[in-house]
Structure 1
Amino acid sequence: MFVCLQIIESEDDRSKSEQLFDRYAGLMYCIASKYLSNEQDREDAVQTAFEAIIRNISKLSVIDSPQTYSYIVNTIESKSIDVLRRLHKIEKQTIEMNSNYPGVQAEVEIDDELATALTRLPSHYREILLLRYDCGYTTKELSSMLGITRSNVQKQIWRAKEALSKLLGER
């Protein structure tokens, strides 16, 4: 928190930030604990929330007001969910998609036409569809992960859908 306070130039804003932290730090930790079980993750969420609040400190006129309370609660909830999403993505262990990579072999135990068609797709198509629709990555996130443009990601998703549609049409 003290590192954040050092970037604030105005003494009034610095004082307001200290008051906000003193007043709402407990609440922020409590809300973060509803989403995150790990203490370090809660601290990360509170820290990033407080940084976001400091960036908009000039918009907060009164420390003890329903508007400020609501802003604090919304910010910490949002940052806690962001940390949760980041942790979920780390758990999924993304892999670099490369057309030369054979891909993950999928065993389908149920008689599902879509699942069977997905296993028959080329690995790079299957993986981009799974990352986009099963893991929930946005095209912007996929672009960053894969080191390609967003339009290229969108084009690959479109091509993968076309290939999947063709496989489903054959049946």
Structure 2
Amino acid sequence: MVEQGLIRAAQSGDRDALITLLREIEDHVYKTAYYILNNEHDALDAAQEALIRVYTKINSYEEKAQFKTWVQRIVTNICIDKFRRTKPSVSMDEHEMVFHDTQNVEHEVLTAYMAQDVQEAINRLPEHHRTVIVLRYLQDFSYNEIADCLNLPLNTVKSYLFRARQQLQTLLQDYQKGGVSG
């Protein structure tokens, strides 16, 4: 949680406070960008653009909304713009795994495959469903925070989340049956 005093100091021109503030939020900004865009290069670009926007617009932040919501709105809007400009692609990045114990090999492999399938399923969701899933389950936003971040009515957020979970359930049926999709 970002301290309000740090935000006020940054707004009053304290460069060190602003840099500290940017460092505190950069991981969350990148994580959101990566899960929405599913591409490391695009996520780095979007995160950089979002951090620059926070840097240049810090004085426009008002304490009406939580700072994290304000920042997530910025990065989400940048990602949505990038998403609309380019067709999403599924990343098939190989995961490096180090196995210290042969008994855990099967578990580690299944976990890696499941994580990849979940990411691919999230990527197949429509943009608005993917965004609410990322904010809710990867950034741990409340429904109200998502509504504020995306400037949507609360019931729309709930509806998007409900439909997104249904779609994910359908896309990941093989896991419910004990199999692996492929």
Q: TM-score, normalised by structure 2?
A: 0.40
Give the number of the structure whose alpha-carbon radius of gyration is greater. Answer: 1
Q: TM-score, normalised by structure 1?
A: 0.42
Greater RCO (CA < 8 Å, at least 6 residues apart):
2
